[in-house]
Amino acid sequence: EAGVTQSPTHLIKTRGQQVTLRCSPISGHTSVYWYQQALGLGLQFLLWYDEGEERNRGNFPPRFSGRQFPNYSSELNVNALELEDSALYLCASSLWVGATGELFFGEGSRLTVL
């Protein structure tokens, strides 16, 4: 069974540009979570989608946005890139929503902003 897949794995952008990151959850999983992990820091919660709707978002500016498609795959968009957006962006999927649902993570997309 395929795990959570993310693309691209690495990318380099310059300040002010826009980027789109993609995530395909495990088949059958309806929840998708996005996280930012800056170098040496923990995982910061960005967004949570379930059944196509945004359920919650972390403390990030509006230039961070996303969506979930009918097939439950998801995109994370970041506009007007800033240097501090350089980070590993992780996507996770879950079958059950709630406190006992195990999150399955992809290997991430590493974004470098120059």
**Residue that has been written with the tokens 């890139």 in this structure:** 81
In whole angstroms, how close is the CB of 39 to other proteins at the nearest point? Answer: 12
In whole angstroms, how close is the CB of 81 to other proteins at the nearest point? Answer: 22
Q: Based on CB atoms, which residue is closest to other proteins, 14 or 107?
A: 107
In whole angstroms, how close is the CB of 72 to other proteins at the nearest point? Answer: 18
Q: Based on CB atoms, which residue is closest to other proteins, 9 or 14?
A: 9
What's the N-to-C CA distance of the chain in angstroms? 37
Q: Based on CB atoms, which residue is closest to other proteins, 27 or 80?
A: 27
CA distance 23 to 106: 8
Is 38 in contact with 90 (CB distance < 8 Å)?
no
Interface residues with other proteins (CB under 8 A)?
4, 33, 35, 41-45, 48, 55-56, 58, 90, 92, 97-100, 102-108
Helix (H, G, I), strand (E, B) or coil at 110: strand
In whole angstroms, how close is the CB of 48 to other proteins at the nearest point? Answer: 7
CA distance 16 to 48: 25
**Residue 38 DSSP label:** -
